[in-house]
Amino acid sequence: MTDEKVFADERRYEILQRVRAAGRVEVSSLATEYGVSTETIRQDLNSLQESGVIRRTHGGAVPVDRTLIEPRVTERTTFSAEKRAIAGAAVAHVPPGGSIFIESGSTSLLLAESLPDDVPLTVFTNSLPVAVLLAQRPNATVITLGGRVRPVTLGEVDSFALRSLRDIHVDTAFLGTNGLSVEHGLTTPDQSEADVKREMLRISGHTVLLADRSKLGTVSLWRYGSVTDVDVVITSARADAAEIELLRATGTAVELA
């Protein structure tokens, strides 16, 4: 990833935090503050609007209630460098053989890409992109859950997926989340996703949560578990230090990538 792309991601993250805190931002003032053109700021705001987290207004932007918004998995490009680092760190938790579960999500897909080719694994997943990717690996046995495929996540949910989850137990599960808060726990915008995620927390001997820094302190609509339901949280080294300390105070291990 180029330095320009990394800087753009950083700037957009800061702009998003400002929109949420202030309730509105202006293109002209942001351009002056960041020392970039107004057209660059408009591109930033357009990108954030496409992700569903802000709404453009004349000359600026206002926040959207993110508890009801979920960008498609194919559009989740924000923090891609940090997500790749998180996925790389998660590889250390892959057992040397045995079984794992990989949940649908952009960071989980990066983990699937990073799995070693020479380790024999049985991989359960509800993610169609993960299944297609790993089905081509000679040492991977891939098993999907079945169920309705959500267009937003390309993940399988509902009764078929739930029945499959009730019949399996894996050595390690790699899961994602939309919101991660000590007070409100693990949350997601969709009830069917919450039902499946709740069962995913039960099926593993070791649970690793992959969460980029935008998820820390965020609360979405449906609660499906608590922070203490996971063994390890892997997040960005740039995540808010106060949020990291709150997580660690629960006794949950936090690794920074």
Sequence letter at residue 252: T
212-235 pLDDT per residue, tens: 988 998 888 899 999 999 999 999
Q: Give the per-residue pLDDT at 197.
A: 97
Pick the CATH number of 3-64 from 3.20.20.210, 1.10.274.10, 1.10.10.10, 3.40.50.150: 1.10.10.10
20-63 pLDDT per residue, tens: 777 788 899 999 999 999 999 999 998 888 776 787 877 888 87
151-175 pLDDT per residue, tens: 888 999 999 999 999 999 999 999 9
Q: Is the confidence at residue 17, as pLDDT, over 50?
A: yes
Q: Where are the domains of the chain?
A: 3-64, 74-256
Whole-angstrom distance, CA of residue 155 vs CA of residue 196: 10
CATH of domain 74-256: 3.40.50.1360
Place of tokens 């890409």: 113
User: 21-25, 99-103, 168-172, 207-211: which has the minimum mean pLDDT?
Assistant: 21-25
Whole-angstrom distance, CA of residue 32 vs CA of residue 45: 15
Sequence letter at residue 184: H
Average pLDDT, the chain: 89
